[in-house]
Amino acid sequence: MALNRLDLNLLHVFDTIYREGSLTRAARALHLTQPAVSHSLSRLREHFDDPLFSRQGNKMVPTPLARRFLESMRPGLTQIQSAVNQFHAFDPANQRKTYSLALRDILESTFLPKLMGRLESYPELEIISQRVPRRDMETQLAAGKLDFAVDVLLPVSNQTAHELLRRDRLVVLARKGHPLTREGLTMENYLEAKHVLVSSRSEGPGIEDFELSRFGVQRSIRLRCQHYYAACRVTEGTDLLLTMPENYARIIAERADIDILSAPADLPAIDVHLYWHKAYEREPALLWFREQLNSIA
């Protein structure tokens, strides 16, 4: 297995097949035809005398040898790619690039419209937004499956960099004509009202409830649901109150019979952070995209 007999471009193909789990998606990511990717895989199989990947359903699953090789090879490939990229500027107007983002649903609604508006002049750029479990975020950033993640402040390793994108204050939503919109929202009538809590968990307090507990008070939760859009629809047709981030609340209020009220207490703002892996942070295309994300935050 002499190195001088192995085309280094094949390693990039190998890494992409491993990351995408599909020859079709790998070909799309590499901007090659599928037969070209299949031919490269055949050369790699011959070189290693191993299948490297086997098809299981619609997915190409790596063999044990392929897994071991990737663990040893990827850091070196990343260093080579970074070294090459340092000498090349990124031209978004003329270069094709696919960016992969991890966004939760509420962040998709506030970030994507502004982002796609900003990228309108760059037709060769493609954006993939996906929901990634928080436990998998760092692994996918390190593997190159994700370029960036946008989320609340999370504990991460020293290999994952992050920065504050924006601070989103909490506001209270009530239907048009709700008695509290006329009376004015106070801590007393806020606690007397019934509330909607949005959470992916089936139990436990929300961020606003932690702060209320510092005052020694507790609100009454009538409905617990998973998505803010559903919660807003409920709030629009009932006397329930909804406490939520202001940026998304403003979007909802444009199309719903809902009033936005200031919270009755100094509730903590939600810090939204941008995450990326340090191994890729000097790549011109990613540096440019980071600037775009910061500009729309």
* CATH assignment at residue 193: 3.40.190.10
Query: Do 148 and 285 reside in the same domain of the chain?
Result: yes
Q: Of the candidates 88, 111, 145, which is a domain's last residue?
A: 88
**What pLDDT, on a 0 to 100 scale, did the predictor assign at position 12?**
84
Q: Which long-range contacts (CB under 8 A, 24 or more apart) does 228-237 make?
A: 228/105, 228/106, 228/198, 228/252, 229/105, 231/196, 231/198, 232/173, 232/256, 232/258, 234/196, 235/173, 235/174, 235/175, 235/196, 236/175, 237/175
Taking the model in full, what pTM does it have?
0.70
Query: Do 179 and 251 reside in the same domain of the chain?
Result: yes
pLDDT tens sequence across 189-229: 999 999 999 998 888 888 889 889 988 999 999 999 999 99
Number of other CB atoms surrounding residue 86 within 10 Å: 10
**What pLDDT, on a 0 to 100 scale, did the predictor assign at position 148?**
98
Number of other CB atoms surrounding residue 164 within 10 Å: 12
Q: Of the candidates 88, 113, 133, which is a domain's last residue?
A: 88
Query: Do 177 and 233 reside in the same domain of the chain?
Result: yes
Q: Which residues contact 198 (CB under 8 A, 6 or more apart)?
A: 206, 224, 225, 226, 227, 228, 231, 242, 244
Query: What total number of domains does the chain contain?
Result: 3
Query: Do 232 and 290 reside in the same domain of the chain?
Result: no
Tell me which residue range forms the domain holding 130: 97-167+271-296
**What pLDDT, on a 0 to 100 scale, did the predictor assign at position 1?**
47
pLDDT tens sequence across 17-63: 998 999 999 999 888 899 999 999 999 998 889 999 999 988 999 99
pLDDT tens sequence across 60-98: 999 999 898 888 887 777 777 766 665 567 889 988 899
Query: Do 19 and 32 reside in the same domain of the chain?
Result: yes
Query: Do 68 and 206 reside in the same domain of the chain?
Result: no
Q: Using CA of residue 5, residue 9, residue 11, residue 14, what is the dihedral sign?
A: negative
Whether the predicted pLDDT of 183 surpasses 90: no
Stated as kind and residue range, the H or E segment containing 198 is strand 194-198
Place of tokens 């702060």: 211
Place of tokens 């050369």: 43
Query: Do 253 and 200 reside in the same domain of the chain?
Result: yes
Query: How far apart, in whole angstroms, are the C-alpha atoms of residue 60 and residue 13?
Result: 13
Query: Do 45 and 124 reside in the same domain of the chain?
Result: no
DSSP helix/strand/coil, 171:
strand
pLDDT tens sequence across 250-280: 999 998 999 999 998 888 889 999 999 998 8
Query: Do 174 and 263 reside in the same domain of the chain?
Result: yes
Q: What is the DSSP string of 173-193?
A: EEETT-HHHHH---HHHHHHS
Whether the predicted pLDDT of 4 surpasses 60: no
Report the CATH number at residue 25.
1.10.10.10
Position 98, amino acid: T
Once rounded to an integer, what is the mean pLDDT over residues 233-238? 96
